[in-house]
Amino acid sequence: MTIKGEKVILRSFRLSDAPSFVRWLNDPEVDRFLRAGAKKITLKEEIKWIKNLSKKIKTEKHFAIDTIQGNLVGSCGLSLSLKNKNAVLGIGIDDKRYWNQGLGTEATKMLIDYGFKKLKLHRIDLKVYSYNGRAIKVYKKLGFKFEGMQREEVFYKGKYYDLIQMGLLSREWKRK
């Protein structure tokens, strides 16, 4: 499946994407915002993750993000709770050379649209580290509301940080 925007294309993962993700996700500058110092990812694990997507197709809607020129730059996805029509959103412009060019905003917008219009979700939420000002800016811009935080949940490089929860309802998205 492919969703085309102005700057980015969301498409299904390919096994050949794996080496790029391993390189990017193990980059400390990227890891800081996504997994805050978690264990390094191996190529074997990444390939397994991509292969497993096809087994979880009903609840895991993940896309690779290409630029409109066709360069792989990251990924995004929704993990669904079918009973409640909810999903948890994740996004990474994992190739840091492409940060701050509007790609993350557009990809997130396209994913939300897919979630509410195509999947008929009622609610989409996410968690973000308190020090990730750029991501929080993007989520606020797209209408996500601050819903609370887990105080000092994340231990990163000798310090504790809050984990912020944000959420967006289908009716709020329609109004925008």
Ligand X SMILES: CC(C)(COP(=O)(O)OP(=O)(O)OC[C@H]1O[C@@H](n2cnc3c(N)ncnc32)[C@H](O)[C@@H]1OP(=O)(O)O)[C@@H](O)C(=O)NCCC(=O)NCCS
Among 9, 128, 166, 168, binds ligand X (CB under 6 A): 128
Binding piece for ligand X, criterion CB under 6 A, among 48-56, 62-70, 96-104, 147-155: 96-104
Among 87, 135, 164, 166, binds ligand X (CB under 6 A): 135
Q: How many residues does the chain have?
A: 176
Q: Answer whether 66's CB lies under 8 Å from 11's CB.
A: yes
Q: Could you say whether residue 6 binds ligand X (CB under 6 A)?
A: no
Q: Which residues contact 154 (CB under 8 A, 6 or more apart)?
A: 36, 129, 160, 161, 162, 163
Measuring CA to CA, how many Å separate 120 from each of 89, 117, 145, 175?
A: 15, 5, 20, 15
Shortest separation between residue 32's beta carbon and ligand X, angstroms: 8
Q: Could you say whether residue 91 binds ligand X (CB under 6 A)?
A: yes
Q: Which residues pair with 156 in a beta bridge?
A: 159
Task: Name the site residues for ligand X (rule: CB under 6 A).
Answer: 30, 33-34, 74, 91-93, 99-105, 128, 132-135, 137-138, 141
